[in-house]
Amino acid sequence: MYELNEEKDPGVLGPFELLAVLGQGGMGRTYLGRRLPLENLGPELETGYHLAGFTESADPALAAVKVIKPSRLRDSSEHSEKETRARFAQEIETMRTVASARVPALLGADADAEQPWLAMDYVHGPTLHKLVHTCGPLAVGPYGALGLALVDALRAIHGAKLLHRDLKPGNIALGPDGPVVLDFGLAVLTERDSAAAITKTGVGFGTPSYMSLEQARDIKHVTESADIYSLGAVLFFAAAKRPPYPLAPMQTPPKWDGVYGPCLPLLGRILVQVAEQRPSLDEIESDLRQLLTDHGLTEETAADQLRVLVADSGVVPEIPAKALSDLPDPEVQQAAQQAVDQGAAPDSPWVPDLFDEFLWAEAEDVMPLDGPAEPAPAPGEYVPTVVDPGARQAPEADAPLPPRPTVTSYRLAPPRPLSTPDPAVAPAVALQAAERLRDAYAHSGRL
Protein backbone atom coordinates (compact mmCIF):
# COMPACT_ATOMS: atom_id res chain seq x y z
CA MET A 1 0.00 0.00 0.00
CA TYR A 2 1.40 3.40 -0.98
CA GLU A 3 0.68 7.05 -0.28
CA LEU A 4 -1.11 9.15 -2.86
CA ASN A 5 0.86 11.58 -4.96
CA GLU A 6 -1.01 14.77 -4.08
CA GLU A 7 0.14 16.53 -7.23
CA LYS A 8 -1.08 13.93 -9.71
CA ASP A 9 -3.34 11.36 -8.06
CA PRO A 10 -7.00 12.40 -7.93
CA GLY A 11 -8.60 12.89 -4.54
CA VAL A 12 -11.94 11.58 -5.81
CA LEU A 13 -12.98 8.94 -8.31
CA GLY A 14 -16.71 9.00 -8.88
CA PRO A 15 -18.21 9.56 -5.42
CA PHE A 16 -15.32 7.78 -3.67
CA GLU A 17 -12.58 9.58 -1.74
CA LEU A 18 -9.20 8.03 -2.50
CA LEU A 19 -6.96 7.29 0.49
CA ALA A 20 -3.99 5.29 -0.77
CA VAL A 21 -2.64 3.36 -3.75
CA LEU A 22 -3.14 -0.40 -3.54
CA GLY A 23 -1.38 -1.33 -6.77
CA GLN A 24 -0.55 -0.57 -10.37
CA GLY A 25 -1.25 -2.79 -13.35
CA GLY A 26 -1.14 -2.67 -17.10
CA MET A 27 -4.74 -1.50 -17.25
CA GLY A 28 -4.61 1.30 -14.69
CA ARG A 29 -4.38 1.79 -10.96
CA THR A 30 -6.19 0.49 -7.90
CA TYR A 31 -6.90 2.75 -4.92
CA LEU A 32 -8.10 2.33 -1.38
CA GLY A 33 -11.19 4.51 -1.09
CA ARG A 34 -14.51 5.06 0.65
CA ARG A 35 -17.85 6.55 -0.28
CA LEU A 36 -18.16 10.30 0.21
CA PRO A 37 -21.35 11.47 1.97
CA LEU A 38 -22.34 13.84 -0.84
CA GLU A 39 -25.61 15.75 -0.93
CA ASN A 40 -27.74 16.42 -4.01
CA LEU A 41 -25.96 13.75 -6.02
CA GLY A 42 -29.18 13.32 -7.96
CA PRO A 43 -30.87 10.26 -9.44
CA GLU A 44 -28.99 10.58 -12.75
CA LEU A 45 -25.58 10.26 -11.14
CA GLU A 46 -26.84 7.66 -8.66
CA THR A 47 -28.05 5.54 -11.56
CA GLY A 48 -25.00 6.25 -13.70
CA TYR A 49 -22.74 5.16 -10.86
CA HIS A 50 -24.92 2.09 -10.24
CA LEU A 51 -25.51 3.34 -6.70
CA ALA A 52 -29.30 3.11 -6.71
CA GLY A 53 -30.33 1.25 -3.59
CA PHE A 54 -26.86 1.64 -2.07
CA THR A 55 -27.13 1.79 1.71
CA GLU A 56 -24.43 3.48 3.74
CA SER A 57 -23.71 1.90 7.11
CA ALA A 58 -22.82 3.77 10.28
CA ASP A 59 -19.17 2.86 9.71
CA PRO A 60 -18.14 3.75 6.15
CA ALA A 61 -16.88 0.65 4.38
CA LEU A 62 -13.58 0.84 2.58
CA ALA A 63 -13.50 0.16 -1.14
CA ALA A 64 -10.99 -0.99 -3.72
CA VAL A 65 -11.45 1.48 -6.58
CA LYS A 66 -10.01 0.58 -9.97
CA VAL A 67 -9.52 3.19 -12.65
CA ILE A 68 -9.27 1.77 -16.16
CA LYS A 69 -7.72 3.35 -19.22
CA PRO A 70 -10.48 3.83 -21.81
CA SER A 71 -8.12 2.74 -24.58
CA ARG A 72 -8.28 -0.74 -23.05
CA LEU A 73 -12.00 -0.90 -23.74
CA ARG A 74 -11.83 0.03 -27.42
CA ASP A 75 -12.04 -2.41 -30.28
CA SER A 76 -11.01 -0.99 -33.62
CA SER A 77 -12.30 -3.96 -35.62
CA GLU A 78 -15.91 -4.70 -34.72
CA HIS A 79 -17.25 -2.54 -31.93
CA SER A 80 -17.14 1.18 -31.35
CA GLU A 81 -16.07 2.54 -27.99
CA LYS A 82 -19.71 3.43 -27.27
CA GLU A 83 -20.85 -0.14 -27.90
CA THR A 84 -18.01 -1.56 -25.84
CA ARG A 85 -18.79 0.68 -22.89
CA ALA A 86 -22.44 -0.34 -23.13
CA ARG A 87 -21.44 -3.98 -22.92
CA PHE A 88 -19.16 -3.11 -20.01
CA ALA A 89 -22.10 -1.48 -18.20
CA GLN A 90 -24.26 -4.54 -18.87
CA GLU A 91 -21.58 -6.76 -17.43
CA ILE A 92 -21.43 -4.60 -14.31
CA GLU A 93 -25.15 -5.17 -13.81
CA THR A 94 -24.58 -8.90 -14.20
CA MET A 95 -21.88 -8.79 -11.54
CA ARG A 96 -24.34 -7.21 -9.12
CA THR A 97 -26.33 -10.45 -9.17
CA VAL A 98 -23.52 -12.41 -7.48
CA ALA A 99 -24.26 -12.44 -3.75
CA SER A 100 -21.69 -14.23 -1.62
CA ALA A 101 -19.54 -13.54 1.41
CA ARG A 102 -16.69 -15.02 -0.64
CA VAL A 103 -16.92 -12.42 -3.41
CA PRO A 104 -16.52 -8.65 -2.83
CA ALA A 105 -19.69 -6.68 -3.45
CA LEU A 106 -19.84 -4.13 -6.26
CA LEU A 107 -20.18 -0.70 -4.62
CA GLY A 108 -20.30 1.47 -7.72
CA ALA A 109 -19.02 1.86 -11.27
CA ASP A 110 -19.04 4.20 -14.23
CA ALA A 111 -18.44 2.73 -17.66
CA ASP A 112 -18.92 6.15 -19.32
CA ALA A 113 -16.29 8.08 -17.37
CA GLU A 114 -13.16 9.34 -19.12
CA GLN A 115 -11.30 6.73 -17.05
CA PRO A 116 -13.90 3.98 -16.46
CA TRP A 117 -13.85 2.74 -12.87
CA LEU A 118 -15.25 0.11 -10.57
CA ALA A 119 -15.49 0.13 -6.79
CA MET A 120 -15.64 -3.11 -4.84
CA ASP A 121 -15.51 -4.04 -1.16
CA TYR A 122 -11.97 -3.77 0.15
CA VAL A 123 -10.78 -6.98 1.81
CA HIS A 124 -8.21 -6.18 4.50
CA GLY A 125 -5.73 -9.00 4.46
CA PRO A 126 -2.84 -10.53 2.52
CA THR A 127 -3.24 -12.57 -0.62
CA LEU A 128 -2.84 -16.33 -0.45
CA HIS A 129 0.29 -15.89 -2.57
CA LYS A 130 1.83 -13.61 0.06
CA LEU A 131 0.80 -15.77 3.02
CA VAL A 132 2.12 -19.07 1.65
CA HIS A 133 5.39 -17.57 0.43
CA THR A 134 5.90 -16.06 3.89
CA CYS A 135 4.61 -18.84 6.16
CA GLY A 136 4.94 -21.96 4.01
CA PRO A 137 2.38 -24.61 3.02
CA LEU A 138 -0.89 -24.65 4.95
CA ALA A 139 -1.69 -27.23 7.62
CA VAL A 140 -4.79 -29.40 7.23
CA GLY A 141 -7.14 -27.04 9.10
CA PRO A 142 -6.33 -23.81 7.19
CA TYR A 143 -6.07 -25.84 3.98
CA GLY A 144 -9.58 -27.25 4.40
CA ALA A 145 -11.02 -23.86 5.36
CA LEU A 146 -9.46 -22.29 2.27
CA GLY A 147 -10.81 -24.98 -0.02
CA LEU A 148 -14.36 -24.78 1.35
CA ALA A 149 -14.39 -20.99 0.97
CA LEU A 150 -13.21 -21.22 -2.65
CA VAL A 151 -15.91 -23.78 -3.41
CA ASP A 152 -18.53 -21.34 -2.06
CA ALA A 153 -17.09 -18.51 -4.17
CA LEU A 154 -17.07 -20.49 -7.41
CA ARG A 155 -20.58 -21.79 -6.72
CA ALA A 156 -21.85 -18.20 -6.47
CA ILE A 157 -19.94 -17.06 -9.59
CA HIS A 158 -21.08 -20.02 -11.68
CA GLY A 159 -24.62 -19.61 -10.36
CA ALA A 160 -24.67 -16.17 -12.00
CA LYS A 161 -23.60 -17.74 -15.33
CA LEU A 162 -20.11 -16.26 -15.03
CA LEU A 163 -16.67 -17.78 -15.22
CA HIS A 164 -13.63 -16.48 -13.37
CA ARG A 165 -10.96 -17.76 -15.81
CA ASP A 166 -8.06 -16.44 -13.70
CA LEU A 167 -8.33 -18.01 -10.25
CA LYS A 168 -4.86 -17.95 -8.68
CA PRO A 169 -3.23 -17.27 -5.28
CA GLY A 170 -2.77 -13.59 -6.10
CA ASN A 171 -6.53 -13.22 -6.67
CA ILE A 172 -7.48 -14.64 -3.25
CA ALA A 173 -7.47 -12.28 -0.26
CA LEU A 174 -7.51 -13.63 3.28
CA GLY A 175 -9.64 -11.12 5.17
CA PRO A 176 -10.95 -11.03 8.74
CA ASP A 177 -13.96 -13.10 7.68
CA GLY A 178 -12.00 -15.65 5.69
CA PRO A 179 -10.93 -16.07 2.05
CA VAL A 180 -12.46 -13.88 -0.64
CA VAL A 181 -12.04 -14.35 -4.39
CA LEU A 182 -11.02 -11.07 -6.01
CA ASP A 183 -11.41 -9.96 -9.59
CA PHE A 184 -14.15 -12.41 -10.50
CA GLY A 185 -15.27 -10.91 -13.77
CA LEU A 186 -12.92 -7.97 -13.23
CA ALA A 187 -10.01 -10.13 -14.34
CA VAL A 188 -11.73 -10.37 -17.71
CA LEU A 189 -13.60 -7.09 -17.62
CA THR A 190 -10.79 -4.71 -16.94
CA GLU A 191 -7.43 -6.39 -16.42
CA ARG A 192 -7.26 -8.04 -19.82
CA ASP A 193 -7.77 -7.03 -23.41
CA SER A 194 -9.47 -10.17 -24.55
CA ALA A 195 -10.15 -9.97 -28.27
CA ALA A 196 -7.31 -12.33 -29.01
CA ALA A 197 -8.04 -14.45 -25.97
CA ILE A 198 -11.77 -14.99 -25.88
CA THR A 199 -13.14 -14.40 -29.35
CA LYS A 200 -10.57 -16.51 -31.18
CA THR A 201 -10.35 -20.26 -30.94
CA GLY A 202 -6.96 -21.77 -30.16
CA VAL A 203 -5.57 -18.85 -28.11
CA GLY A 204 -4.91 -19.02 -24.37
CA PHE A 205 -5.99 -16.64 -21.63
CA GLY A 206 -5.32 -16.45 -17.91
CA THR A 207 -2.28 -17.34 -15.81
CA PRO A 208 -0.47 -20.34 -17.38
CA SER A 209 0.65 -21.92 -14.09
CA TYR A 210 -2.96 -22.17 -12.88
CA MET A 211 -4.92 -22.78 -16.07
CA SER A 212 -6.19 -26.03 -17.53
CA LEU A 213 -4.99 -27.50 -20.78
CA GLU A 214 -8.29 -26.77 -22.54
CA GLN A 215 -8.09 -23.13 -21.47
CA ALA A 216 -4.56 -22.84 -22.81
CA ARG A 217 -5.79 -24.17 -26.15
CA ASP A 218 -9.20 -22.54 -26.50
CA ILE A 219 -10.62 -20.08 -23.96
CA LYS A 220 -13.78 -19.52 -25.99
CA HIS A 221 -15.24 -22.93 -25.26
CA VAL A 222 -14.20 -23.57 -21.66
CA THR A 223 -16.83 -24.42 -19.07
CA GLU A 224 -17.03 -24.27 -15.30
CA SER A 225 -14.64 -27.23 -15.22
CA ALA A 226 -11.77 -24.91 -16.17
CA ASP A 227 -12.34 -22.93 -12.97
CA ILE A 228 -12.46 -26.21 -11.03
CA TYR A 229 -9.03 -27.12 -12.41
CA SER A 230 -7.72 -23.70 -11.32
CA LEU A 231 -9.18 -24.34 -7.87
CA GLY A 232 -7.15 -27.56 -7.74
CA ALA A 233 -4.03 -25.72 -8.86
CA VAL A 234 -4.54 -23.14 -6.09
CA LEU A 235 -4.98 -25.89 -3.50
CA PHE A 236 -1.82 -27.55 -4.84
CA PHE A 237 0.03 -24.25 -4.28
CA ALA A 238 -1.38 -24.02 -0.75
CA ALA A 239 -0.06 -27.51 0.00
CA ALA A 240 3.31 -27.30 -1.77
CA LYS A 241 4.24 -23.58 -2.03
CA ARG A 242 4.44 -23.95 -5.80
CA PRO A 243 2.00 -24.38 -8.69
CA PRO A 244 1.52 -27.84 -10.23
CA TYR A 245 3.32 -26.71 -13.40
CA PRO A 246 5.91 -23.90 -13.32
CA LEU A 247 5.25 -22.52 -16.80
CA ALA A 248 2.20 -24.04 -18.49
CA PRO A 249 -0.21 -26.99 -18.21
CA MET A 250 1.00 -30.28 -19.64
CA GLN A 251 -0.37 -33.72 -20.39
CA THR A 252 2.03 -35.32 -17.92
CA PRO A 253 1.12 -35.38 -14.20
CA PRO A 254 2.64 -32.74 -11.92
CA LYS A 255 5.45 -33.62 -9.52
CA TRP A 256 3.88 -34.52 -6.18
CA ASP A 257 7.05 -34.13 -4.11
CA GLY A 258 6.35 -32.34 -0.84
CA VAL A 259 2.55 -32.49 -1.07
CA TYR A 260 0.99 -33.69 2.20
CA GLY A 261 -0.27 -37.24 1.69
CA PRO A 262 -3.93 -36.77 2.74
CA CYS A 263 -4.29 -33.98 0.14
CA LEU A 264 -3.20 -36.20 -2.74
CA PRO A 265 -6.45 -38.08 -3.51
CA LEU A 266 -8.53 -34.93 -4.03
CA LEU A 267 -5.81 -33.02 -5.88
CA GLY A 268 -5.17 -36.03 -8.09
CA ARG A 269 -8.82 -36.13 -9.13
CA ILE A 270 -9.00 -32.41 -9.89
CA LEU A 271 -5.71 -31.93 -11.72
CA VAL A 272 -6.53 -34.10 -14.72
CA GLN A 273 -6.46 -32.66 -18.22
CA VAL A 274 -9.81 -34.07 -19.33
CA ALA A 275 -12.47 -31.59 -18.24
CA GLU A 276 -15.28 -34.14 -18.03
CA GLN A 277 -13.32 -36.28 -15.57
CA ARG A 278 -12.93 -33.62 -12.90
CA PRO A 279 -15.14 -33.73 -9.79
CA SER A 280 -17.98 -31.27 -9.25
CA LEU A 281 -17.89 -28.52 -6.64
CA ASP A 282 -20.23 -30.60 -4.47
CA GLU A 283 -17.84 -33.55 -4.62
CA ILE A 284 -14.87 -31.34 -3.77
CA GLU A 285 -16.77 -29.87 -0.84
CA SER A 286 -17.61 -33.35 0.46
CA ASP A 287 -13.99 -34.49 0.19
CA LEU A 288 -12.71 -31.40 2.01
CA ARG A 289 -15.18 -31.92 4.85
CA GLN A 290 -14.13 -35.55 5.10
CA LEU A 291 -10.47 -34.47 5.22
CA LEU A 292 -11.23 -32.24 8.21
CA THR A 293 -13.27 -34.94 9.92
CA ASP A 294 -10.46 -37.46 9.48
CA HIS A 295 -8.17 -35.07 11.36
CA GLY A 296 -10.64 -34.38 14.16
CA LEU A 297 -11.48 -30.86 12.94
CA THR A 298 -14.78 -29.08 12.45
CA GLU A 299 -15.29 -26.44 9.76
CA GLU A 300 -15.47 -23.77 12.47
CA THR A 301 -12.20 -24.90 14.05
CA ALA A 302 -10.48 -24.98 10.67
CA ALA A 303 -11.70 -21.46 9.85
CA ASP A 304 -10.42 -20.21 13.23
CA GLN A 305 -7.03 -21.77 12.57
CA LEU A 306 -6.80 -19.97 9.24
CA ARG A 307 -7.73 -16.63 10.85
CA VAL A 308 -5.08 -17.08 13.56
CA LEU A 309 -2.47 -17.99 10.95
CA VAL A 310 -3.22 -14.84 8.96
CA ALA A 311 -3.30 -12.59 12.03
CA ASP A 312 0.06 -13.91 13.25
CA SER A 313 1.71 -13.93 9.82
CA GLY A 314 3.02 -10.37 9.91
CA VAL A 315 1.91 -9.77 6.32
CA VAL A 316 -1.46 -8.07 6.92
CA PRO A 317 -1.15 -4.64 5.23
CA GLU A 318 -1.25 -1.58 7.45
CA ILE A 319 -4.22 0.72 6.91
CA PRO A 320 -3.26 4.43 6.64
CA ALA A 321 -4.35 6.54 9.58
CA LYS A 322 -6.75 8.71 7.56
CA ALA A 323 -8.61 5.59 6.41
CA LEU A 324 -9.44 4.82 10.05
CA SER A 325 -11.23 8.13 10.48
CA ASP A 326 -14.96 8.36 9.89
CA LEU A 327 -14.59 11.87 8.45
CA PRO A 328 -13.44 12.60 4.88
CA ASP A 329 -10.73 15.08 4.07
CA PRO A 330 -12.47 18.49 4.34
CA GLU A 331 -10.83 19.85 1.17
CA VAL A 332 -11.72 16.74 -0.84
CA GLN A 333 -15.29 16.79 0.49
CA GLN A 334 -15.67 20.49 -0.33
CA ALA A 335 -14.29 20.16 -3.86
CA ALA A 336 -16.48 17.14 -4.64
CA GLN A 337 -19.60 18.75 -3.20
CA GLN A 338 -18.94 22.00 -5.05
CA ALA A 339 -18.67 20.10 -8.33
CA VAL A 340 -22.00 18.34 -7.66
CA ASP A 341 -23.69 21.63 -6.73
CA GLN A 342 -22.53 23.07 -10.04
CA GLY A 343 -24.06 20.16 -11.92
CA ALA A 344 -20.82 18.26 -12.59
CA ALA A 345 -19.54 14.89 -11.51
CA PRO A 346 -17.89 14.87 -8.05
CA ASP A 347 -14.54 13.86 -9.54
CA SER A 348 -14.44 16.79 -11.96
CA PRO A 349 -11.77 18.75 -10.01
CA TRP A 350 -9.00 16.45 -11.29
CA VAL A 351 -7.61 16.57 -14.81
CA PRO A 352 -8.05 13.31 -16.78
CA ASP A 353 -5.31 13.98 -19.32
CA LEU A 354 -2.72 14.60 -16.62
CA PHE A 355 -3.75 11.48 -14.72
CA ASP A 356 -3.79 9.41 -17.90
CA GLU A 357 -0.21 10.40 -18.61
CA PHE A 358 0.73 9.82 -14.98
CA LEU A 359 -0.52 6.24 -15.12
CA TRP A 360 1.98 5.37 -17.81
CA ALA A 361 4.82 7.46 -16.33
CA GLU A 362 4.73 5.63 -12.98
CA ALA A 363 3.62 2.21 -14.17
CA GLU A 364 6.82 0.63 -12.86
CA ASP A 365 7.06 2.61 -9.62
CA VAL A 366 3.88 1.31 -7.99
CA MET A 367 3.36 -2.42 -7.97
CA PRO A 368 0.86 -4.75 -6.31
CA LEU A 369 1.76 -6.08 -2.87
CA ASP A 370 2.72 -9.48 -4.30
CA GLY A 371 5.29 -8.14 -6.75
CA PRO A 372 5.39 -6.84 -10.31
CA ALA A 373 2.13 -6.57 -12.18
CA GLU A 374 1.50 -9.06 -14.95
CA PRO A 375 2.37 -7.59 -18.35
CA ALA A 376 -0.63 -6.32 -20.26
CA PRO A 377 -1.66 -8.21 -23.38
CA ALA A 378 -2.01 -6.50 -26.74
CA PRO A 379 -5.00 -4.12 -27.10
CA GLY A 380 -8.31 -5.64 -28.13
CA GLU A 381 -11.99 -5.94 -27.51
CA TYR A 382 -13.71 -6.19 -24.16
CA VAL A 383 -15.73 -9.40 -24.01
CA PRO A 384 -18.22 -10.22 -21.22
CA THR A 385 -17.51 -13.06 -18.83
CA VAL A 386 -20.94 -14.64 -19.25
CA VAL A 387 -20.55 -18.28 -20.22
CA ASP A 388 -20.34 -18.64 -23.99
CA PRO A 389 -23.69 -20.01 -25.20
CA GLY A 390 -21.84 -22.10 -27.77
CA ALA A 391 -19.71 -23.79 -25.14
CA ARG A 392 -20.32 -27.29 -23.87
CA GLN A 393 -22.92 -27.00 -21.14
CA ALA A 394 -22.71 -28.91 -17.88
CA PRO A 395 -25.59 -31.35 -17.23
CA GLU A 396 -28.59 -29.94 -15.38
CA ALA A 397 -28.62 -30.61 -11.66
CA ASP A 398 -31.66 -32.89 -11.92
CA ALA A 399 -30.41 -34.85 -14.92
CA PRO A 400 -29.02 -38.32 -14.21
CA LEU A 401 -25.25 -38.42 -14.47
CA PRO A 402 -23.43 -41.34 -16.11
CA PRO A 403 -21.19 -43.41 -13.85
CA ARG A 404 -17.92 -41.56 -13.28
CA PRO A 405 -14.77 -43.69 -13.28
CA THR A 406 -12.23 -42.92 -10.59
CA VAL A 407 -9.58 -40.79 -12.27
CA THR A 408 -6.40 -39.49 -10.71
CA SER A 409 -3.45 -37.54 -12.07
CA TYR A 410 -0.93 -39.08 -9.68
CA ARG A 411 0.35 -42.63 -9.67
CA LEU A 412 0.71 -44.93 -6.67
CA ALA A 413 3.02 -47.19 -8.67
CA PRO A 414 6.61 -46.10 -9.44
CA PRO A 415 6.44 -43.24 -11.93
CA ARG A 416 7.25 -43.84 -15.57
CA PRO A 417 9.62 -41.46 -17.39
CA LEU A 418 7.93 -38.17 -18.25
CA SER A 419 6.71 -37.89 -21.80
CA THR A 420 7.54 -35.03 -24.10
CA PRO A 421 5.41 -31.89 -23.39
CA ASP A 422 2.48 -31.37 -25.68
CA PRO A 423 3.95 -29.29 -28.57
CA ALA A 424 0.53 -27.77 -29.28
CA VAL A 425 0.42 -26.08 -25.88
CA ALA A 426 3.71 -25.37 -24.15
CA PRO A 427 5.41 -23.45 -27.03
CA ALA A 428 2.26 -21.42 -27.69
CA VAL A 429 1.98 -20.36 -24.07
CA ALA A 430 5.68 -19.52 -23.93
CA LEU A 431 5.40 -17.38 -27.05
CA GLN A 432 2.42 -15.54 -25.60
CA ALA A 433 4.34 -14.85 -22.38
CA ALA A 434 7.31 -13.56 -24.38
CA GLU A 435 5.05 -11.29 -26.40
CA ARG A 436 3.46 -9.84 -23.24
CA LEU A 437 6.91 -9.20 -21.72
CA ARG A 438 8.07 -7.54 -24.94
CA ASP A 439 5.00 -5.28 -24.89
CA ALA A 440 5.51 -4.39 -21.23
CA TYR A 441 9.16 -3.43 -21.74
CA ALA A 442 8.21 -1.40 -24.81
CA HIS A 443 5.86 0.70 -22.69
CA SER A 444 8.53 1.11 -20.03
CA GLY A 445 10.94 2.69 -22.50
CA ARG A 446 13.68 0.11 -21.97
CA LEU A 447 13.62 -1.06 -25.56
pLDDT for res 183: 76
pLDDT for res 20: 93
8 Å CB contact between 288 and 235: no
Could you tell me which residues come within 8 angstroms of residue 275 by beta carbon, excluding any fewer than 6 positions away?
212, 214, 222, 223, 225, 226, 229
Of 3.30.56.10, 3.30.365.10, 3.30.70.260, 3.30.200.20, the CATH number of 1-124+318-366 is 3.30.200.20
Q: At what angle do helices 140-159 and 299-311 cross, to 10 degrees?
A: 100
pLDDT for res 59: 54
pLDDT for res 45: 86
Intervals of CATH 1.10.510.10 along the chain: 126-316+404-447
pLDDT for res 161: 83
Q: Which of 9, 166, 347, 388 is catalytic?
A: 166
Intervals of CATH 3.30.200.20 along the chain: 1-124+318-366
pLDDT for res 207: 84
pLDDT for res 379: 35
Could you tell me which residues come within 8 angstroms of residue 16 by beta carbon, excluding any fewer than 6 positions away?
31, 33, 34, 35, 36, 63, 65, 107, 108, 119
Burial of 246 (0-12, 13-18, 19+ CB in 10 A): exposed
pLDDT for res 56: 58
Please count the residues of the chain: 447
pLDDT for res 75: 53
Look at domain 126-316+404-447 and name its CATH class: mainly alpha
pLDDT for res 57: 55
pLDDT for res 112: 83
pLDDT for res 191: 33
110 catalytic per annotation = no
pLDDT for res 442: 46
Say what the pTM is: 0.75
For the chain, residues with pLDDT lower than 70 are: 25-27, 52-60, 70-79, 184-205, 351-447
